[in-house]
Copies of this chain bind each other. A is one copy, B any other.
Amino acid sequence: TTVTVFEILERSWASLDCSLIDMKIEFGVKPSTGEIVLADVIDSDSWRLWPSGDKRLMKDKQVYRELREVTQEALDTVKRNFEWVAERVKLLIPKPNARAVVFMGSASDMPHCEKIRTSCQQLGVPCELRVSSAHKGTEETMKILAEYEGEGIPTVFIAVAGRSNGLGPVLSGNATWPVINCPPLSGDWGSHDIWSSMRLPSGLGCATVMFPEAAALCAAQILALNDHVIWGNVRAKQLNTWIGLKEADKKSRNDK
């Protein structure tokens, strides 16, 4: 867990051009239950930061630790450093310049799309839902797509169309940014419907996932390439999944 927390913070500071050098987190054992609990806050006291990776610019208590004598000037330096850090911490979780836009071919796909939006939000990805049919509102669909591409915010498009999926391929054929098909598949016909998303003519780059949570995670992993906050959310989700498996394994062994 410590490693994951470090990785996330390191990448966050890196986005402000600071190297996070080292960091500690203290854990304790809760005597009553034997659980390991976090016994620490994570603050400027617990880490060392070097702006631009330059040790001489270090902005943390280490300055204070390395002082031979405690002078007012040194204290001021520490204080200034802490102020500098406080200011930058505010920048660590910026409003993301990224988003997912879900197109659905029919309002009846709303519950499926809302699952995508919820999963996006849990990963810190802003998400908008639109209803537009490539078959029955072709020109309208093109117009909405053009508006989103024109706004300049990096956007992953997610196409949700039941039965024969014309929406994702039409979007992808007219977009320069990535389109993810996430068709709402029923058991009866899903294995037939999927092919309209997969068997695409040349010149189309849209990819397909089968589950709404996966569509959101896919969009997050794409946007994580250039957004450290979303990256941190993806990384944290992985850690939680791993912990969940460990706990389930432990439980299964006790049930024996």
Contact = CB atoms under 8 A, between A and B. Distances in A.
A101 to B, nearest CB: 11
Contact of A253 (B128, B199, B226): B128
A134 B202 CA distance: 13
A234 B177 CA distance: 9
A26 B159 CA distance: 38
Given A133-B173, A192-B195, A200 B249 contact: no
A188 B189 contact: no
A33 interface: no
A191 to B, nearest CB: 6
Copies in the complex: 8
B204 A207 contact: no
- Residue of A170, A204, A207, A217 contacting most chain B CB atoms (<10 Å): A207
Interface string A185-205: 011111111111111111111
- Residue of A161, A249, A251 contacting most chain B CB atoms (<10 Å): A249
Interface stretch (A61-69, A81-89, A103-111): A103-111
Interface of A: 98, 104-107, 110, 128-140, 142, 144, 154-156, 161-166, 169-170, 172-180, 186-211, 213-214, 216-218, 220-226, 231, 234-235, 237-238, 241-242, 245-246, 248-249, 251-253, 255-256
